[in-house]
Amino acid sequence: MTSHPAAAMADKKASKIHARRDQIVAAARQCFRQSGFHAAGMAEIARRSQLSVGQIYRYFVNKDAIIEEIVRRIVNNRIQILTLADDHAAQMAHELALRILAGDEATREDDRALMLEASAEATRNPKVAHILQEADARLFHQASAMLRQRYPQLSAEQIAARVELVAVLSEGTAFRAFTAQQASPEALNQLYRHLLQQLFPPA
């Protein structure tokens, strides 16, 4: 059975739009990494994406919309890889001690830098601050749901406190990644493991 011509045409158009948005996002990531969210302009993004500024505006209404899409994709990736393995406390301790953060290995460092840059931009741009707040709420909701399923004996307040603490550890580690580590990974691993196993005992 052949597909309806109109449906095939719509699929082709949607694929083209998706590819063009990917092209713009990839160029914007490079520009923002090099110049920062505040300094990088649409003209710079257009040059790197080999498009005109007018073409970019067909797919994103402004620079904030591009930032929103970048943050959305990073958060979606983090949500997809959220898991609670049997040894998740030990695994988390190991990754924190080595400053290994969640994400695709190929883009992890750029994602970390871009999220830190977004945090800096949020201090002067209410729109970006709102984008980050929504992203954080999505991550919090997903992590809370996973903990609720794994540890049904915990109250909503206890779950919220644990998610908040892990977020502080993870985001603090991301910030500290650009400084020299003052303690050995082995010593940190022991401390993190002790703390996290108290918070997340075997179910």
Residue 176's CATH number: 1.10.357.10
In terms of domains, do 56 and 66 share one? no
Q: Are residues 136 and 111 part of one domain?
A: yes
**Per-residue model confidence (pLDDT) at position 9:** 74
Least confident among 34-48, 93-107, 109-123, 135-149: 93-107
pLDDT confidence band for 201 (50 / 70 / 90): confident
What is the pTM (predicted TM-score) of this model? 0.80
Asked if residue 15 and residue 104 are part of one domain, the reply reads no
Instruction: Output 184-188 pairs: Cβ under 8 A, ≥24 positions apart.
Output: 185/97, 185/98, 186/97, 188/96, 188/97
| Residues 15 and 115 placed together within one structural domain of the fold | no
Is there a single domain that holds both residue 37 and residue 104? no
Q: Which of 13, 33, 60 is the last residue of a domain?
A: 60
Nearest to 141 by CA among 199, 75, 95, 196: 75
pLDDT, one tens digit per residue, over 55-73 is 999 999 999 999 999 999 9
CA distance 87 to 122: 35
38 and 84 assigned to the same domain: no
**pLDDT surpasses 80 at 131:** yes
What is the domain extent for residue 45? 1-60
Looking at the 3D structure of the chain, how many domains does it have? 2
Average pLDDT, the chain: 89
